[in-house]
């Protein structure tokens, strides 16, 4: 399948999608709209851009139309197998179409289009799905000619990120959610291959489409009205358990780092809030969350908000390491510990006071000069100044030789948080530039990307694909 803006896809693709909606299945977050005027129930196209979060759910619903348990139409990642599942039921008639492709890359954005026209004489033309601009071939069986589908029916409930049943919430990010009522369209109505990088599928402006009676276009650009339909139809959605903080700048044209739930030593840690919130609880819960983007060069800035701390750690590690312990036992790492000190290969040094709940821990990483600084609430360790950090002055750096501590020749550096003690609760939210928590004083990097509590030092940037294209 063509690549869609994963961590290795860093080209600026032209048309920009500014925002997405971050959804956490544990918060029962979704959008709904009740249809008031019937549209077509034989022709329809759905398009959505998706970055997955929690892969362990059995029913990760993207779109749903429901009247009751016997009458529904759902598009979801289903059955704990990470396939795309297209399912509808009209009373006693039931159909289920499943892709052969799987969707397991939590670092990448996918574009999914599902289009049907049951009036088509050729059975295979009656329902089609596309992934990143390419038609899927995994469907077994097709609907009967002129089959009606529970979509666009008067009084049915349209759902985004929810099936209408108890276990169907979506977890992750969605952008550019589009429904076209009465037409079967192909993906070129919503995206195109990049002229300079033909393996990259990118979005295009869809505002000029004819959306039909129940068509909608949600761009999530209005934080105070996340369910606003910008198609011109005013088919607005009601948000459920969502607030303005759920608007994210992580999008299908600028992909931000998150923590990776597939990292081999995630262990007893739970990730939530778009894989930005890290939680361990109890004496047996230990683990580490590693960044999905692991740079090999450049200057980068990250923040981490402490929610509940017992044995919090934050730092750098070679992305290929398999360690399960902390401190002097962890080679190829530079770690800022819960007591304010640095753990490096074989040793410990004092650096800052211990962080407390609600503190913002800052990381400034200079891979070009092998330097590393930690700050708490804009006070930097070893009394380092912003000028020193910006100029690459090594005098008060937390580490002056990252290249030997965390050798990048065997794997890129990953930024991580961890709890390895199993002695209590540890909860923190990491901010690579698209925070999952409220920011009281918004600050972006020098390229205008990211949203941080404190201003990044000049020349340091948020971990996103547009910055990687320029500085990584």
Q: Which of 4, 209, 35, 30 is nearest to 109 (CA)?
A: 4
Q: Going from the N-terminus, what domains does the chain have, and what CATH number goes with each?
A: 20-248 (2.60.120.200), 270-471 (2.60.120.920)
Name the band, by pLDDT with cuts 50, 70 and 90, for residue 173. Answer: very high
For position 469, what pLDDT does the model report? Answer: 87
- CA gap 189, 166 in Å, rounded: 34
* DSSP bridge partners of 50: 110, 174
- CA gap 160, 65 in Å, rounded: 9
According to the per-residue pLDDT averaged within each range, which of 91-105, 188-202, 239-253, 417-431 is highest?
239-253
pLDDT tens digits, residue range 103-116? 999 999 999 999 99
For position 328, what pLDDT does the model report? Answer: 38
pLDDT tens digits, residue range 277-297? 988 876 555 677 788 988 888
| Tokens at 374, concatenated | 């930690």
pLDDT tens digits, residue range 42-71? 999 999 999 999 888 877 899 999 887 778
Burial of 356 (0-12, 13-18, 19+ CB in 10 A): exposed
Q: Residue 391 — φ and ψ, nearest 5°?
A: -90, -5
DSSP 77-105: EETTTTEEEEEEEETTEEEEEEEEEE---
Phi and psi based region of residue 61 (left: phi greater than 0; alpha: psi -120 to 50; beta: remaining): beta
For position 92, what pLDDT does the model report? Answer: 64
Q: Which of 347, 350, 326, 322 is nearest to 419 (CA)?
A: 326
According to the per-residue pLDDT averaged within each range, which of 288-297, 337-346, 391-400 is highest?
288-297
- The mean predicted confidence, pLDDT, of the chain is 85
CB 254 within 8 A of CB 464: yes
| Tokens at 27, concatenated | 């918060």
Query: Of 271 and 180, which is predicted with more confidence?
Result: 180
Report percent pLDDT > 90 for the chain.
49
């Amino acid at each position: 399948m063509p690549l869609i803006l994963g961590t290795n896809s860093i080209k600026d693709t032209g048309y920009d999608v500014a925002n997405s909606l971050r959804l956490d299945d544990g918060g029962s977050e979704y959008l709904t709209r009740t249809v008031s005027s019937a549209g077509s129930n034989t022709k329809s196209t759905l398009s959505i851009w998706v970055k997955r979060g929690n892969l362990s759910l059995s029913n990760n619903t993207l779109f749903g139309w429901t009247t009751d348990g016997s009458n529904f139409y759902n598009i979801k990642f289903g059955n704990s197998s990470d396939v795309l599942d297209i399912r509808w039921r009209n009373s006693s008639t039931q159909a289920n179409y499943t892709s052969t492709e799987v969707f397991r890359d939590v670092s990448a954005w996918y574009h999914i289009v599902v289009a049907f026209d049951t009036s088509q004489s050729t059975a295979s033309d009656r329902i089609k799905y596309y992934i990143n601009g390419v038609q899927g071939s995994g469907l077994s069986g097709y609907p009967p000619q002129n089959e009606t589908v529970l979509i666009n029916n008067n009084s049915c409930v349209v759902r985004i990120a929810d099936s209408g049943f108890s276990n169907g919430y979506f977890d992750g990010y969605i952008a550019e959610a589009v429904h076209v009522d009465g037409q079967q369209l192909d993906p070129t109505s919503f995206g195109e291959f990049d002229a300079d990088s033909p393996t990259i599928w990118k979005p295009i402006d869809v505002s000029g489409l004819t959306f039909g009676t129940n068509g909608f276009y949600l761009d999530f650009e209005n934080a105070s009205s996340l369910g606003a339909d910008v198609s011109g139809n005013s088919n607005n959605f009601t948000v459920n358990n969502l607030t303005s903080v759920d608007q994210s700048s992580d999008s299908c044209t600028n992909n931000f780092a998150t923590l990776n739930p597939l990292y081999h030593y995630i262990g007893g840690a739970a990730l939530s809030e778009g894989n930005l919130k890290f939680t361990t609880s109890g004496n047996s819960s230990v683990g580490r969350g590693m960044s999905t983007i692991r740079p090999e060069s450049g200057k980068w800035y990250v923040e981490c908000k402490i929610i509940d701390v017992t044995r919090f750690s934050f730092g750098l590690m070679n992305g290929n390491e398999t360690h399960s312990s902390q401190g002097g036992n962890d080679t190829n790492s530079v770690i800022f510990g819960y007591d304010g000190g640095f753990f490096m290969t074989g040793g410990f040094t004092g650096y800052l006071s211990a962080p407390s709940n609600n503190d913002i821990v800052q990381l400034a990483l200079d891979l070009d000069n092998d330097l590393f600084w930690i700050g708490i609430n804009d006070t930097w360790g070893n009394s380092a100044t912003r000028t020193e950090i910006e100029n690459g002055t090594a005098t008060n750096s937390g580490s002056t030789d990252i290249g030997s501590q965390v050798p990048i020749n065997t794997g890129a550096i990953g930024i991580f948080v961890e709890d390895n003690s199993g002695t209590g609760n540890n909860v923190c939210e990491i901010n690579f530039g698209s925070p999952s928590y409220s920011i009281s004083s918004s600050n972006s990097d020098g390229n205008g990307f990211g949203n941080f509590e404190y201003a990044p030092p000049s020349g340091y940037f948020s971990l996103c694909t547009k910055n990687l294209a320029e500085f990584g």
